[in-house]
Amino acid sequence: MRVLYFLSLTLLPFTAASQHSFGAQTRSSLATQPYDSGLFSPVEDLHNISPSQYTILQHPSFPAHSVRIKESKFCDEEVRAYTGYIDIEARHLFFYFFESRRDPDSDDVIFWTNGGPGSSSSYGLFMELGPCRVTGANTTARFDYSWNEHANIFFIDQPIGVGFSYADYGEQVDSTLEAARHIAAFVAIFFEHFTKFKGRPFHMAGESYAGRHIPVYASEIYDRNAALEEADMTPINLTSIIIGNGPQDFFEMMLSLYELQCGYHGYPPFKSISECVHLKQLVPRCRKRAQQSCKDTLDILDCSAAWEFCWDTFAGWIGERNPYDYRRPCTDVGGDSEACYPSLQNITVYLNQPHVQSILGIDPGHSNYTLNDNALNARFSPMDTFAFRAEHYTEALLERGVRALIYAGDTDYVGNHIMVERGTLKLEWSGQKRFANTPLRDWLVDGEIAGRTRTEGVLTFATVHDAGHLVPFDQPKRALELVNRWLAGEAL
């Protein structure tokens, strides 16, 4: 079965002035705070973190989890940056954290992850919305439209095997539900240690396949708040989820691809008339099989067969065009990201350089940076990939007052805005009818139409005009304006 990577790209810049090496050190020698499971001692101030060695963060409520963090002077000298690992016994998730450019002591906090499953969040960091962009194998530049303009922001390489994340003995994570427990523990430990972040509005964001991760991660964090209060910990102020070009329902994605290949919704037709007539006749069959085997019931064998049928029928490529942005050429019709975006190769070269890894604090023996983990993508649980109902988690969050911004670039093919909009209209929550009856309207940036939007209560859908799968890459100013208005609670 051919599975296309669903991506979100951003790169981490590195400047010559930020080349501070702290040397190759073992994990045990990096710890600066001994930990007594019977006594919790918070670090309190993030600025107490050392640039030369790791500080270990733990909490007795999460005995299987700890966090290693160090200051890492790179990417953007204007703000403080930190890197480290979430350690789950023998598994280690790598993360980056950047303070806000405006006011780190009061601005909101954003968690960002990319998709795949199996794509590193350095896509988002260095190519889309991070403080800097990799401009060559050895060069970076400050990025003026970074989302940390008004927010503190995490980028996390997950699941295990992606980016710099690794396992000591080959342990694996192959489902969103399992990964959610580790992310929720990390967030709780981090916020409990650093007093200034307690109670701060927290937004969980991602694009592409992360449209299936984020609702589950956010739900796990929301549900754990009661347990945090029982443990005398401050609940996480989960304020919103933000999803870009994310397919929460893969079968709706399949059916939207038929329409796009045949020239509906303003997309150029890629199929002949006879081919489109044939495909149209197969739409009811795909929809019926998906409903019976993957939605009304969860029969993995029948659901797998339904997926295979729909994929083979509707997932046709679009000639030599880029499946992430039909306006652009692509040298690989299968949708390989590095073929469609050659600059990604610079990120891999950059992050595999010893002096960069020294700054970041990469564990010795685990320095092979992986942009996309093909093995993880292949093994990720079938139930997670095409039968898992991520939209139910989004519905539950909406009912609990958690805001949701679901946006899409209007030139993306594989994670197209038609599928994304239909997904928002089908969400079953108390505001569903009012949302569906609210007409789309233009939203503007600098007096120009930036896209179309619809809002009802806590749910907003928006398109971004002239943007593909990687909205902040294609339209950085519009993307930043979108998120800044969202953080401020303003209408688009």
Determine which one of 122, 412, 417, 474 is catalytic: 412
Tens-place pLDDT, residues 268-288: 888 899 999 999 999 999 999
Domain that holds residue 220: 16-242+386-488
Q: Does this model's pTM top 0.75?
A: yes
Catalytic residue list contains 410? no
373 is catalytic: no
Taking residues 211-234, report their average pLDDT: 93
Q: Which of 59, 213, 417, 469 is catalytic?
A: 469
Residue 297 inside a domain? The answer is no
The count of other CB atoms within 10 Å of the CB of residue 49 is 22
Give domain status of residue 300, yes or no. no
Q: 323 in a domain, yes or no? A: no
How many CB atoms sit inside 10 A of residue 462's CB? Answer: 27
Q: What is the pLDDT of residues 4-41, one digit of tens each?
A: 444 433 322 222 222 222 233 333 333 334 444 445 78
Number of domains in the chain: 1
Give the span between the Cα atoms of 433 and 210, in whole angstroms: 26
The verdict on residue 207 lying in a domain is yes
Residue 438 lies inside a defined structural domain of this protein:
yes
8 within some domain:
no
Q: Which of 29-33, 298-302, 417-421 has the lowest mean pLDDT?
A: 29-33
Tokens 């503007």 sit on residue: 444
Q: Which of 18, 119, 120, 208 is catalytic?
A: 208
Report CA dihedral (174, 180, 184, 187) to the nearest 10 degrees.
70
Distance CA 313, CA 223 (A): 39
For residues 350 and 12, give the distance between their C-alpha atoms in angstroms, rounded to a whole number. Answer: 9
Beta carbons of 82 and 49 less than 8 angstroms apart = yes
Q: What is residue 142's three-state secondary structure?
A: strand
Active site residue 469: yes
Residue 20's contacts (CB-CB under 8 Å, 6 or more residues apart) are: 51, 73, 359
Question: In which element (H, E) is residue 448 found?
Answer: strand 448-456
Q: Is the pLDDT of residue 484 over 50?
A: yes
Q: What is the pLDDT of residue 106?
A: 96
Q: Specify the CATH number for the domain of residue 436.
A: 3.40.50.1820
Tens digits of residue pLDDT in 100-152: 999 999 999 999 998 877 688 988 999 999 999 998 878 889 999 999 999 99
Residue 40 resides in a domain: yes
In a domain, 197, yes or no: yes
